[in-house]
Amino acid sequence: MPAADTRQPNHDFAEAKSLAERSFELLIAHRIAPTPQHYAVAYAYASGANAELRATIDQRLRAGRGLDAFLFGELHERFVAIDPYRNLRGVGGNLQQLVESLAHSVGEAGAGAAEFGRALEAGLGHLDDLDADSGAQAIEQVVVRLVDATRSAAQQNDKLQQQLQSTLAETEALRGELEQQRQAALHDPLTGLLNRRALDAQLDELMAVESDAPLSVLMVDIDHFKRINDTYGHALGDAVIRNVADVIRKCIRGADRAVRYGGEEFLVLLPHTGEEGAAQVAENIRSRIHSLRLVRKRDNFMLEPFTASLGVATRLSEDTRETLLQRADVALYASKGGGRNRVTVGGRTVP
């Protein structure tokens, strides 16, 4: 996705004050802590500075779904943060230093090779000048010069080889660091599942490749999660999210992809899976979540059982990414409206 223009428009005091009040009202209405990151998202929404950010929030509100800190964190990273890849740029700077160092070493080696060539040419010239009357000392001087030039060239080559080995090792270390940064940018830190940025790339690829192959999407939402947070606190709420993520991970195959889609929402991509197979996976996830019994280790406190609702959509020939996700979302909310703890497949509730 191209980088968004993160510059805020200029406002006079009265207009900025009004936008600030509306920003805080939005945060307070949805019980989102007014941290600088959350406030920046709310202000960008109120000002209309970023159309895609505003559309994302408006779509969620129209669907009757609340806003939360997790969503605002993702929106800040996607649309507001001006330097989300500072670490990657630091790695790039290190790589630039490696390239410059290697170029310098290669330059020195080239200069050494040229010097050796000149010494060899001069030595051979002196040999041509020698005749039968030349003394042994003159011949020895020519040989000594050639030996010295050869030794100097060998030392320069050894130095270059060491530099190349060192550069290769550092390059491998940087490659590993870059891969770690890339993985961190695509995964949710709480659950280890893919995040929404990764979802965009994964789903676009699945929609474009093998367009005739079946593709299904599951949406999973923990029922009454706000009540869990309010009753037990956010630490146990995070434990619930991690355990639900583990259930989802254990119910899918290697080619499937699980995503943390929202605070307590998950999305599962099931390539090469039709409606019937997707419904079976969804029911397996639902029943396993329903069977979870979580115990806090420090005091053996057992949480009350909790459930999840699921929606299933299978790609139609006319589907875009947006319409496929929308149909899964509609199915999910049919499960919510039908009493929760159930699976709805394309408008049909699975008993």
Of the residues 137, 160, 186, which one is the last residue of a structural domain?
Answer: 186
Q: What angle do CA 243, 201, 222 make, to 5 degrees?
A: 25
At residue 159, the pLDDT reads 72
Domain co-membership, 298 together with 167: no
Find the helix packing angle between 234-251 and 225-232, rounded to 10°.
140
At residue 83, the pLDDT reads 46
At residue 62, the pLDDT reads 84
Told to judge if 264 belongs to the known catalytic residues of this protein, a careful annotator would answer yes
Domain co-membership, 321 together with 229: yes
**Residue given tokens 């999407």 in the structure block:** 217
Ramachandran angles phi, psi of 302, nearest 5°: -100, 125
Does the residue 3 lie in any domain?
no
Of the residues 80, 100, 117, which one is the last residue of a structural domain?
Answer: 80
pTM of the full structure: 0.62
Pairing of β 308-314 and β 343-345: parallel
Measure the CA–CA gap between 80 and 96, rounded to whole angstroms: 28
Residue 112 corresponds to which tokens in the numbers above? 């050494």
140, 205, 264, 276: which one is catalytic? 264
| Residue 297 CB neighbours (<10 A) | 6
Does the residue 320 lie in any domain?
yes
At residue 204, the pLDDT reads 86
At residue 3, the pLDDT reads 45
Domain co-membership, 55 together with 165: no
Averages of pLDDT over runs of 10 residues in the chain (351 residues) are 48 80 90 87 90 88 82 84 49 54 56 54 53 56 62 68 70 67 77 89 83 91 93 91 96 94 93 95 97 91 94 93 92 94 81 56
